[in-house]
Amino acid sequence: MSKSTKTLEKKTQREGERPREPHSRGEMGPLMQGSDILVACLEREGVDTIFAYPGGASMEFHQALTRSKKIRTILPRHEQGGAFAAEGYARATGRPGVCMATSGPGATNLVTGIADAFMDSIPLVAITGQVAQAMIGKGGFQETDFFGMTLPIVKHSYLVTDVNDIPRIVKEAFYIAQSGRPGPVVIDVPKNIQQTKTQPIFPNEIQLRGYEADCRASEIALNEIIGQIEKAERPILYCGGGIISANAAEELREFAERTEIPVTTTIMGCGAFPEDHPLSLRWLGMHGTAYANWAVSGEFEKINDVVNKVAPGADLLLAFGVRFDDRVTGKVDKFCETGTIVHIDVDASELNKNKPAHLPIVSDIKYALGRLNELIRKRPISKKFKSWHNQIANWKAKAPFGYRITQEVIKSQHMIDHLQGQESEVILPQMAIEMLYELTGGDAIITTGVGQHQMWAGQYYRYKHPRQLLTSAGLGAMGYGYPAALGAKVARPDKHVIDIDGDGSFLMNVQELATAHIEKIAAKALVLNNQHLGMVVQWEDKFYQSNRGHTYLGDPENMKAIYPDFVKIAQGFNVPAERVMYKKDLRAALQRMLDSKEPYVLDVIVPYTEHVLPFIPAGKTVADMIWKP
Ligand SMILES: Cc1ncc(C[n+]2csc(CCOP(=O)(O)OP(=O)(O)O)c2C)c(N)n1
Ligand SMILES: [Mg+2]
């Protein structure tokens, strides 16, 4: 036996090959070929849209997709765009997004999207064609070991080795992707299997030994939480994407209102609790509100490197559906240093991973919050936390998000080259987002790229509902915004879907304008064009004496012009677009973008000199936070 065949055997065992069960509890289909079986399975899972780019090893699937009456196949113009679009669909709906690519380069182009779904716990099913089984391990044309390559970034994966396994595998894949802690599942299907005919048996049930998706907190643990709340003086709810993926926003709201505990969320948790609610502290961490960071870890004063505590932070942190990400905690041992930490997560491996918890609980958060609400409905919490609320009100008044036209802006080249020195005409990125918020009534679905604009999109748009801010948080993948907006708009055609993007990020998947135009997907792009990789520039300013290390995106030989010309690029794709330079033109231009029934690019030219504030430098503490605009 060759080495490669051995590897293949080992893998199929690892993915849990088991003796085929008697097909007593399944439904037998007619004689079909593997590719049609897979498409039939997708239909049975309720898939209505797939983002799929064909190639030699996946064209059998595409042929089968042309025969489907239920599935809309959208051709992205790059597989990465397809994976991000599938994620946008999943984030907007909670249902698994589905993408497909051919073997080799098609599959490798999906990797960033799969990694993104893994980091942010997004249900994604990625189907790839693979070379025929006889060619596996031989270095055949467009062969990559996709199963092996993606192992560290999937929740689960399958390399199909028997056409009869397709119905079971697809059913399992969808279940695994969306149950418990959601995540990406890869199904790699060799071409010969796609072409093999069999009579499929579609199983009615799933049996997955050792996979427990429905974990529930014990009554003892829940009562202990209530006891901790009764003992606390300064409790805070710190909630994340887990609330959104568990559809537990209603339960969270009831719990917060009944206990009167203030709520801060992560960026992933934006919208899990309405940001216009009096108990909301909005989001915390590196660029979150100063008041949320103070409420968790305390307020400090740093004078000549001597740190004094001004006011204590939380003495009880209810960490629900979060993972103590470093962009939230900064120096982790200083994060909520003096608080008792209760951590509930559906994934046991998150507990005590980044931050030890005094009370770690494995549970579905919807169940835990629902049951806590039942308990406190019967026996309400007696504490009212009045002085804590006063303290927080003072902090909110002291440090709201804010911006101003700084000397750096006034003296900037942008002011000289483009605005003839007219200060009143400068558009700051924060202003544009605030105006968008106003014009959309805070009701749009927002996607973003990665960078400063992403942070401002989190700060200056307020999220009232779950699944409203779709952003690459854990992976921080530039290029995410526009394809994700396509996926979200396909899923929610009733909503305004707007990608608030950076010029660098938008350029990374600009080809998806073709998908938008051809497929008539009216996703909008609001590009906050600062001609720079702004977030890296900010770090250069802060830590590298403003030495520019390849962070300028414009044309160095003609710095007065804006480069590239997104309006012309969009025209090439037949997508309407316009550029705005002066503040006086912004409102009407935003309105035209919103009114358009087509995809649209609004290129808003902004200065690059702005810094995102507040800012807690990486690995530092709340005592190091820069927050005054
Ligand atoms: C794919 C990828 N490459 C590089 C980075 C590193 N990075 C983070 S933010 C950033 C700048 C983004 O620039 P732009 O999209 O124009 O946004 P801005 O910060 O200017 O608003 C870069 C290069 C990244 N996050 N993702
Ligand atoms: Mg930029």
Q: Could you report the per-residue pLDDT of 581-592, keeping only the tens digit for each?
A: 999 999 999 999
* C-alpha of residue 539 to centroid of ligand 1, in Å: 12
476 CA: nearest ligand 1 atom: 25
**Angle subtended at Cα 49 by Cα 48 and Cα 54, rounded to the nearest 5 degrees:** 135
Residue 18 has pLDDT above 80, yes or no: no
Q: What is the pLDDT of residue 212?
A: 86
pLDDT score, position 24: 63
Please tell me the distance from the alpha carbon of residue 180 to that of residue 213, in angstroms, as a whole number: 4
Of 151, 178, 225, 124, the C-alpha closest to 487 is 124
**69-118: per-residue pLDDT in tens?**
999 999 999 999 999 999 999 999 999 999 999 999 999 999 999 999 99
By CB atoms closer than 10 A (0-12, 13-18, 19+), residue 182 is buried
Cα–ligand 1 centroid distance for 602 (angstroms): 19
| For residues 301-324, average pLDDT | 95
| Ligand 2 center from residue 191 Cα (angstroms) | 42
Tens-place pLDDT, residues 327-358: 999 999 999 999 999 999 999 999 999 999 99
Residue 261 confidence (pLDDT) above 60 = yes
Print burial letters for 218-256: b (CB count within 10 Å at least 16), e (below 16). eeebbebbeebbeebebbbbbbbbbbbbbebbebbbbbb
- Are 135 and 57 spatial neighbours (Cβ–Cβ below 8 Å)? no
Q: Cα-Cα-Cα-Cα dihedral of 435, 564, 570, 501, to 10°?
A: -40
Of 505, 563, 615, the one to substitute when testing ligand 1's pocket (max ligand atoms within 8 A of C-beta) is 505
Q: Which tokens belong to 508?
A: 């990374």
Whether residue 12 has pLDDT greater than 70 = no
Q: Which atom of ligand 1 is nearest to the CA of 453?
A: 21
Region 501-517: mean pLDDT is: 98
Tens digit of pLDDT for each residue in 454-468? 999 999 999 999 999
Contacts of 224 (CB under 8 A, 6+ apart): 359
Place of tokens 């526009």: 482
The set of catalytic residues is 79, 141-142, 191, 535
601 secondary structure, DSSP code: E
Half-sphere exposure at residue 179, Cβ-oriented, CA atoms within 13 angstroms: 14
* Residue 552, Cβ density class (10 Å: 0-12 exposed, 13-18 middle, ≥19 buried): middle
Say if residues 587 and 431 touch (Cβ distance below 8 Å): no
Q: Is 607 left (phi over 0), alpha (psi -120 to 50) or beta?
A: beta
Burial of 534 (0-12, 13-18, 19+ CB in 10 A): buried
- Please, which residues have CB less than 5 A from ligand 2, an ion? 502-504, 530, 534
Confidence of residue 305 (pLDDT cuts 50, 70, 90): confident
What is the torsional sign of CA 135, 137, 143, 144? positive
Over 60: is that where the pLDDT of 324 sits?
Answer: yes
What distance in Å separates the CA atoms of residue 453 and residue 458, rounded to the nearest whole number?
Answer: 9
**Cα–Cα distance for residue pair 28/99, rounded to 1 Å:** 27
Going by C-alpha positions, the residue among 78, 5, 47, 69 that lies closest to residue 187 is 47
pLDDT bin (cut points 50, 70, 90) of residue 304 is: confident
Please give the Cα distance from 338 to 344 (Å, whole number): 19
Q: Is the pLDDT at 3 greater than 50, yes or no?
A: no
| Average pLDDT score over residue span 416-425 | 94
Q: Which helix (H) or strand (E) element contains residue 186? A: strand 184-190
Cα 427 to averaged position of ligand 2 atoms, centre (Å): 14
Q: pLDDT higher for 413 or 510?
A: 510
Instruction: Choose the residue to mutate in 112, 450, 606 for probing ligand 1, maximizing ligand atoms within 8 Å of C-beta.
Output: 450
* Site of tokens 């609330």: 243
34-57: pLDDT as tens digits: 999 999 999 999 999 999 999 999
Between residues 19 and 155, the one the model is more confident about: 155
3 state SS of 401: coil
Q: Retrieve residue 526's tokens.
A: 């609001």
Please report the atom of ligand 1 found closest to the CA of residue 456.
Answer: 21
At residue 23, the pLDDT reads: 52
Ligand nearest the Cα of residue 454 is 1
Is 46 strand, coil or helix?
Answer: coil
pLDDT tens across 180-225, in order? Answer: 999 999 999 999 999 999 999 999 999 999 998 889 999 999 999 9
Query: pTM of the predicted model, to two decimals?
Result: 0.95
Nearest Cα residue to 318 out of 220, 232, 214: 232
Q: How many percent of the chain have pLDDT more than 70?
A: 96
Give the amino acid at 141.
Answer: F
**Closest listed ligand to the CA of 612:** 1
Atom of ligand 1 nearest to the CA of 477: 26
Sign (positive/negative) of CA torsion 452, 458, 459, 462? positive
**Distance (Å, rounded) from C-alpha 156 to C-alpha 158?**
7
The residue whose CA has the least distance to atom 20 of ligand 1 is 534
Distance from the alpha carbon of residue 551 to the mean position of ligand 2, in angstroms: 9
Cα–ligand 2 centroid distance for 532 (angstroms): 4
Residue 315 has pLDDT above 90, yes or no: yes
For atom 8 of ligand 1, the residue with the nearest CA is 451
CA–centroid distance, 452 to ligand 2, in Å, is 8
Gap between the Cα atoms of 416 and 166, Å rounded: 63
- pLDDT tens digits, 446-455: 999 999 999 9
- Residue to mutate (ligand 1; options 478, 506, 550, 562; most atoms within 8 A of CB): 478
Give the binding-site residues of ligand 1, using a 6 Å CB cut-off.
449-453, 476-479, 502-505, 528, 530, 532-536
Q: Do you find a cis peptide bond into 564, omega within 30 degrees of 0?
A: yes
Query: Which bound ligand lies closest to the C-alpha atom of 116?
Result: 1
Can you name the residues that pair with 249 across neighbouring β-strands? none
The structure tokens listed for 491 are 């899923």
Residue nearest to atom 11 of ligand 1 (CA): 533
For the chain, counts of helices (H) and of strands (E): 26, 24
DSSP track, 87-127: HHHHHHHSSPEEEEE-TTHHHHTTHHHHHHHHHTT--EEEE
Residue 575 has pLDDT above 90, yes or no: yes
Beta strands 235-239 and 263-265, pairing class: parallel
541: number of Cβ within 10 Å: 15
pLDDT of residue 214: 87
> Helix, strand or coil for residue 614?
coil
The bound ligand whose nearest atom lies closest to the alpha carbon of 112 is 1
Ligand 1: distance of its center to the CA of 551 in Å? 9
Whose C-alpha lies nearest to ligand 1, atom 2? 478
Angle at 428 between CA 425 and CA 430, to 5 degrees: 140
The predicted pLDDT at position 17 comes to 44
Q: Which atom of ligand 1 is nearest to the CA of 503?
A: 16
Looking from the CA of residue 454, the nearest atom of ligand 1 is 21
Question: From the CA of 540, how far away is ligand 1's center (Å)?
Answer: 13
- Mutating to test ligand 1, I would choose from 533, 538, 613, 615 the residue with most ligand atoms within 8 A of its C-beta, which is 533
Closest ligand 1 atom to the C-alpha of 528? 21
What ligand is nearest to the CA atom of residue 457? 1
Q: How far apart are CA 61 and CA 101, in angstroms?
A: 10
Average pLDDT taken over every residue of the chain? 95
